[in-house]
Amino acid sequence: MKISGSEIFVECLRKENVEILFGYPGGVVIPLFDKLYDAHDIHFVLTRHEQAAAHAADGYARATGKTGVCLATSGPGATNLVTGIANAYMDSIPMVAFTGQVPMSLIGTDAFQEADITGITRPITKHNFLISDTSKIASTISQAFYIASTGRPGPVVVDLPKDVSTGVIDFEWPEVPPVPKGYKIPKYADTACIGEAAEAIRVSKKPLIYAGGGIIISGAEKELLVFAERINAPVTTTLMGLGGFPASHPYWVGMPGMHGTYTANMAFTECDLVIAVGARFDDRVTGKIEGFAPNAKIIHIDMDPAAIAKNVEVDIAVVGDARAILGQLLEVVEPRGRNGWNDYIEKMKKTHQPTYDRDSGILKPQYVVEQIYEVTKGEAIITTEVGQNQMFASLYYKFDKPRRFISSGGLGTMGYGFPAAIGAQLGKPDAVVFDIAGDGSIQMNIQELATAVEQKLPVNIAILNNQYLGMVRQWQELFYNKRYSGTCIECQPDFVKLAEAYGAHGIRVDKPEDVRAAIEKAISIDGPVILDFHVDREENVWPMVAPGAPISDTMEGLLS
Ligand SMILES: Cc1ncc(C[n+]2csc(CCOP(=O)(O)OP(=O)(O)O)c2C)c(N)n1
């Protein structure tokens, strides 16, 4: 039976088990929306901005491990997705972004709402497609989902011209995705490589495991735990890797880098072997490259051969899936006994915990995060915006399990956390979800309150309201002589009234003694809540490594 391209689109979503689709309509995608109208098994979520649709799809993907899907119209709808696509690309998030396109005959004529979205997104997608023929819709969509979710995951854009979605043909679903030639998914590494890595571990006196988001993507947290205990090595996890190794485990030394812990940074500085698993040596981790792990051999395990040795020189490259490789290593690696290195690291960890002034009587952002941790018993899904709020969340909420910390790592996108929280809450309806936000970042996608209210989502937004673009202000304080140029945002909406205007709840908190009750109340409310915490305006994030400095120069703030 012949059906239209738009019907094929909906059928393909069904074949790919898409249960939720975030998006925003427009002229050229009306045929798709018309078919979605009757597709009651696919939950369409109308966001109030396309950027938020992409972030919500991304948050859904991170919380569930499934592929996030979003849909926008051509031109401005498509370009509004760009930040969300770039964000997913930088953090290797599986996503398929559908965009409408002007009819084939008008492409290249500067037609109304035409934008070359495949051209625009080429550097920020794993792959992208412009479908030129209705007969290619099914095979292309099948391929798009396959590419987005396999190997090193990433966003794939599928651009659908209007005449392609209105064309009519026989629907045929390819049972096996037509994979492009040369597309390889490395899983296991060759045994010689594994043997070399095992030998380096055997002779190491001071090993350090450096685990990134790859652990979470490949579901390798159990293997990582067994491996770390087998070789008795301290473990540092990147921002993207938080929850990939239990924060409550004695071997965990915290996050490394610019706002990493003293212990993680010193462990890098003093170790003789770095075992990097699914981590990409981001410059926020390495600091000044010459001072990074100066005495260490480096084993780099990564799914993506292009990520290996991109930022640092590597001694042993192991290409493959983190979980598969750790499994291979566990078969050959000998148990390594504890030695002075372990005692040294554990002592340092005890004496160099990140801390702040707990006796000031002033409401501190760190205290707010600690209380969210206490009240939710570490079980919440935490999304963050970008800035100090993100660092306070990563330093003061302890993550024992993966897919609980959802944050824009690579791109550092303000405005990410709230739509991501919406996506996470829809993917995990039973979870308690908090977006830990700055007063600057939250205003970048605040319009999504309407989405959260409409979808009846109990998402909690904890604004650490310092009336500054705090992270930039911190740099201006420390490195620009307190010249707060462009960072003072005292002109604020009343966030409580703003919440109420959208039909949500708002609670303002000024005093430390009111924090806990406010968090408990927010959780008990069945709908979105803004918690507006008026925190110490000029509080800083410590520890900190100054930009351009080696990570051995970790400043601890209060303790230094
Ligand atoms: C879209 C975007 N624009 C600008 C920046 C640069 N930037 C990084 S942190 C920051 C300040 C964030 O302020 P706020 O959201 O109030 O959070 P705080 O640091 O105060 O917790 C800015 C402007 C960014 N990361 N993303």
Q: How many CA atoms lie within 13 A of 183 on its CB side?
A: 17
| DSSP code string of 341-393 | HHHHHHHHHHH------TTS-SPPHHHHHHHHHHHHTT-SEEEE-SSHHHHHH
Average pLDDT over residues 465-493: 98
The answer to whether the CB of 441 is under 6 A from ligand 1 is yes
Active-site residues, by number, are 50, 112-113, 162, 471
CA distance 291 to 306: 23
Average pLDDT over every residue of 440-459: 98
Q: 393 C-alpha vs ligand 1 centroid, how far in Å?
A: 14
> CA-to-CA distance for 186 and 150, rounded, in angstroms?
10
Distance 387 CA to ligand 1 centre (A): 5
pLDDT tens digit sequence for 109-132: 999 999 999 999 999 999 999 999
C-alpha triplet 472, 53, 453: angle, nearest 5°: 90
For ligand 1, whether the C-beta of 438 sits within 6 Å is yes
The distance from CA 321 to its chain's CA centroid, rounded to whole angstroms, is: 19
Confidence of residue 187 (pLDDT cuts 50, 70, 90): very high
| High-pLDDT (> 70) share of the chain, % | 99
Quickly list DSSP for 459-479.
-EEEEEE-SB-HHHHHHHHHH
In the prediction, which pLDDT does 181 show?
87
Looking only at the bridges linking them, the beta strands covering 168-170 and 2-4 are: antiparallel
CA atoms within 13 A on the CB side of 343: 4
pTM of this structure: 0.98
For 285, phi and psi rounded to 5 degrees? -90, -45
CA 235 to chain centre: 20
Structure confidence at residue 294 (pLDDT): 97
What average pLDDT is seen over the chain? 97
Backbone angles phi and psi of 327, in degrees to 5: -60, -45
Contact present, 158 and 140 (Cβ < 8 Å): yes
In whole angstroms, what is the distance from residue 165 CA to residue 5 CA?
A: 4
pLDDT of residue 558: 63
Query: Cα(439) to centroid of ligand 1, in Å?
Result: 9
221-230 residue pLDDT tens = 999 999 999 9
User: Does residue 468 have its Cβ closer than 6 Å to ligand 1?
Assistant: yes
Residue-wise pLDDT tens digits, 132-163: 999 999 999 999 999 999 999 999 999 999 99
Q: What is the dihedral of CA 22, 25, 30, 35, to 10 degrees?
A: 20
pLDDT one-digit tens code per residue, 266-300? 999 999 999 999 999 999 999 999 999 999 999 99
Is pLDDT of 317 > 50? yes
pLDDT at 560: 40
Q: What pLDDT is stored for residue 249 in this prediction?
A: 98
Q: Supply angle C-alpha 159, 164, 168, rounded to 5.
A: 145
The answer to whether the CB of 83 is under 6 A from ligand 1 is: no
Q: Please tell me the residue having the least CA distance from ligand 1 atom 1.
A: 414
**C-beta of 536 in contact with ligand 1 (< 6 A):** no
Residue 470 — pLDDT band, cuts 50, 70, 90? very high
1 pLDDT band, cuts 50/70/90, is confident
Is beta strand 43-46 parallel, antiparallel or unpaired with respect to 95-101? Answer: unpaired
Which distant-in-sequence residues (6+ apart) come within 8 Å of 199 by Cβ? Answer: none
E strand intervals along 477-559: 505-509, 529-534
Residue 180 has a pLDDT of: 85
Half-sphere exposure in the Cβ direction for 122 (13 Å, CA): 5
